[in-house]
Structure 1
Amino acid sequence: HLKHDDRVNKPLTRQALAAMAGSCVQFVLPIEKTQATKLFKLEDFFHRVQAALKDLLSAHSGRIDGVQEKVDKYLKEIPSEARPKEILAITVVRKQRGRVRGRIENTFLAVAMRLKVDTGKCELCCAYEKGNTLTISPWGSFSDAIAFIAQLSPVKLGDKNEVRKTRFMEFVKQIISNSVDEGAQPLVMIDSSNCVQLWPWLKDVEINANQIDLGQQYQWMQDEWQGARIVRIRQDLAPGIIDKKERLLAETSLEDTRSKEELKKLPPTVKLPSASSSTGLFRLSATNQTECVAYLSVGGKTLHQYLRGQSCYRPTQINTPVILKKDDDSREKIFNQAGLEVHQLSEKPPFLDQWPTPNPLEIVVTLRQPQDDSDCLASLVESLRYSFGHYSEWTVLPAPLFFERVVRDYISEFALEDEDTEAESDL
Structure 2
Amino acid sequence: MTIQDLDPPAPNVMPQGDADTRVRRIVKRERDVRDDPIALAFVMNGRGRDQVHRVTVVQWSDAAYHQLGALSKAMNSQKPKVSLPVVGLRGRLELGDQRNLRLDRTLGLAKHRTLSWTLTPPDDALPAARDAALGWLVDDVTEHAHHPDAVAALGQLKQLVRAGQALTTRERSTRVFEWGTSLGKTAKALTPSSYADLADFVARGLEGQAPFPDLGALRRIASGQLEQNQAELMTDPVPVGGRSRFSLVVRLRVFSYPGRPTPVIITEFSKRVWATGLKEKATTKTLSAYALPDGSTRALQFTLKRVRTEAGWVYAPDDDFGPIARRYFPKTTFTAEKIVKEGHRLSGCRLLVGLKHGVGERSETKSGVPDKDKLDGFTGLVDAMKALGLHPWEGLRYLETSTREVKDRDQHWGKRDSDDSKKKEKYRQWLEEAQQSIRDVYDGEHHLVIAVQPGQEEDAREAEARLATILGGSVTTVRVPISPLAHGPRSTLPVPQPKSPDHKPGNADRAALRMAEWDPFIRTVKAHEEKTGRRVDGVLVIARQWYPGNQHDDLVNKRAARIALAQGLGVPVQYLRPRDEAREEAAVKAPRGRKKTQDEIDAGIDRSFEDRLMIGWLDLAYKSAGRVKPGKVIAEARKVYEEDVPSLFGAYPDRILALGVVRRNTTRFIGNDRSFLPFAIELDVETGTCGARFAYEGDGRQPVHTSLMPLPQALVTLAGLGPVQLTTAVQNRWEQLGGRTQAFFREALADFGKRAQRPLVIVDADSSRSVWPWLKDEVIDPNNVHLDGTFHAEAAWPHARLVRVRTSNSPKVLWDKDFHGAVQGEDGQPTAEIIRYHAPSAAEADLFKVTDTQGTNVYLSFGSTIRTGQTQGRSGYRVMYGMRQVRDDTGQHYVADTMKVHTDAWTTPAGVEIAVVRSGGDQPDQVARLVEWLRQCYAHFGEWTTKPAPLYFEKALKEYLADYDLDEEEGGEEEE
- Give the TM-score category using the shorter length: 0.7 to 0.9
Tell me, yes or no, if structure 1 residue 208 matches structure 2 residue 781: yes
Aligned to 1:94: 663
Relative to its length, the structure with more helix (as a share) is: 2
Shift of 1:345: 1.1
Aligned partners of 1:311, 1:257: CA distance in 2, in Å? 31
CA contact (8 A) 2:559 2:964 kept: no
Tell me, yes or no, if structure 1 residue 109 matches structure 2 residue 657: no
Aligned partners of 1:398, 1:254: CA distance in 2, in Å? 55
Aligned to 1:85: 654
Shift of 1:399: 0.8
Q: Residue type of the partner of 2:909?
A: P
Aligned partners of 1:230, 1:255: CA distance in 2, in Å? 65
Aligned to 1:232: 804
Aligned to 2:231: none
Tell me, yes or no, if structure 1 residue 120 matches structure 2 residue 692: no
Q: Residue type of the partner of 2:837?
A: L
Aligned to 2:952: 402
Q: Residue type of the partner of 1:234?
A: R
Aligned to 1:48: 612
Q: Residue type of the partner of 2:704?
A: T
Aligned partners of 1:299, 1:392: CA distance in 2, in Å? 12
Change (3 A) 1:249 1:122: same
Change (3 A) 1:61 1:414: closer
SS at match of 1:409: helix
Q: Residue type of the partner of 1:239?
A: P
Provide Cα deviations, 1:292-342, integer angstroms capped at 9, x if missing partner: 31110001343335223385443333422355xxxxxxxx3546xxxx724
Shift of 1:167: 0.8
Aligned to 1:367: 918
Shift of 1:80: 7.3
Provide Cα deviations, 1:119-162, integer angstroms capped at 9, x if missing partner: 11210100111222221101111101100001124411113110
Among 748, 752, 756, which residue is 1:179 paired with? 752
CA contact (8 A) 1:68 1:117 kept: yes
Q: How many percent of aligned residue pairs carry the same amino acid?
A: 30
Aligned partners of 1:320, 1:400: CA distance in 2, in Å? 43
Aligned partners of 1:20, 1:392: CA distance in 2, in Å? 33
Q: Residue type of the partner of 2:835?
A: V
Aligned to 2:641: 75
Among 735, 744, 761, which residue is 1:188 paired with? 761
CA contact (8 A) 2:628 2:937 kept: yes
CA contact (8 A) 1:298 1:359 kept: yes
**Worse overlay, 313-322 or 147-156:** 313-322
Change (3 A) 1:39 1:237: closer
CA contact (8 A) 1:242 1:277 kept: yes
Provide Cα deviations, 1:248-284, integer angstroms capped at 9, x if missing partner: 12111353146xxxx9xxx871221112011211001
Shift of 1:287: 5.9
Among 258, 271, 296, which residue is 2:836 paired with? 271
Among 135, 139, 153, which residue is 2:708 paired with? 139
Among 557, 567, 574, which residue is 1:26 paired with? 574
**Which structure is larger by alpha-carbon Rg, 1 or 2?**
2
SS at match of 1:236: coil
Aligned partners of 1:311, 1:376: CA distance in 2, in Å? 38
Shift of 1:95: 2.9
CA contact (8 A) 1:18 1:410 kept: no
SS at match of 1:304: coil
Tell me, yes or no, if structure 1 residue 411 matches structure 2 residue 411: no
Aligned partners of 2:793, 2:762: CA distance in 1, in Å? 16
Aligned partners of 2:806, 2:602: CA distance in 1, in Å? 48
SS at match of 2:664: coil
CA contact (8 A) 1:334 1:342 kept: no
SS at match of 2:827: coil
Aligned to 1:197: 770
Aligned partners of 1:144, 1:268: CA distance in 2, in Å? 68
Q: Residue type of the partner of 2:834?
A: T
SS at match of 1:238: coil
Aligned partners of 2:918, 2:894: CA distance in 1, in Å? 56
Aligned partners of 1:110, 1:39: CA distance in 2, in Å? 46
Aligned partners of 2:925, 2:961: CA distance in 1, in Å? 37
CA contact (8 A) 1:108 1:414 kept: no
Aligned to 1:421: none
CA contact (8 A) 1:238 1:296 kept: yes
CA contact (8 A) 2:556 2:966 kept: no
Provide Cα deviations, 1:9-48, integer angstroms capped at 9, x if missing partner: 1232223222321121111111346974697854432332
Shift of 1:387: 2.3
Aligned partners of 1:268, 1:9: CA distance in 2, in Å? 67
Aligned to 1:64: 628
CA contact (8 A) 2:559 2:966 kept: no
Shift of 1:62: 0.4
Q: Residue type of the partner of 1:30?
A: P
Unaligned runs of 5+ in 2: 1-543, 588-597, 666-672, 969-976
**Worse overlay, 298-307 or 128-137:** 298-307
Shift of 1:286: 5.4
Shift of 1:228: 0.7
Tell me, yes or no, if structure 1 residue 248 matches structure 2 residue 820: yes
CA contact (8 A) 1:286 1:293 kept: no
Aligned partners of 1:249, 1:7: CA distance in 2, in Å? 58
Q: Residue type of the partner of 2:681?
A: M
SS at match of 2:639: helix
CA contact (8 A) 2:881 2:896 kept: no
Provide Cα deviations, 1:181-218, integer angstroms capped at 9, x if missing partner: 44533111111111110100111111121221115x21
Aligned-residue Cα RMSD (Å) equals: 2.9
SS at match of 1:145: helix
Aligned partners of 2:739, 2:945: CA distance in 1, in Å? 31
CA contact (8 A) 2:555 2:966 kept: no
Aligned partners of 1:417, 1:42: CA distance in 2, in Å? 29
1:7-26 matches, within 5 Å, as 7-26=555-574
Q: Residue type of the partner of 2:825?
A: S
Provide Cα deviations, 1:85-143, integer angstroms capped at 9, x if missing partner: 210011111237xxxxxxxx962111110001221121010011122222110111110
Among 307, 312, 331, which residue is 2:871 paired with? 307
SS at match of 1:173: helix
- TM-score (norm: length of structure 2): 0.37
**Worse overlay, 236-245 or 275-284:** 236-245
CA contact (8 A) 1:318 1:348 kept: no
Tell me, yes or no, if structure 1 residue 388 matches structure 2 residue 388: no
Tell me, yes or no, if structure 1 residue 317 matches structure 2 residue 881: yes
Aligned to 1:344: 896
Aligned to 2:393: none
Q: Residue type of the partner of 2:897?
A: L
Aligned partners of 1:393, 1:39: CA distance in 2, in Å? 28
Change (3 A) 1:15 1:152: same
**Worse overlay, 7-16 or 275-284:** 7-16
Tell me, yes or no, if structure 1 residue 379 matches structure 2 residue 929: yes
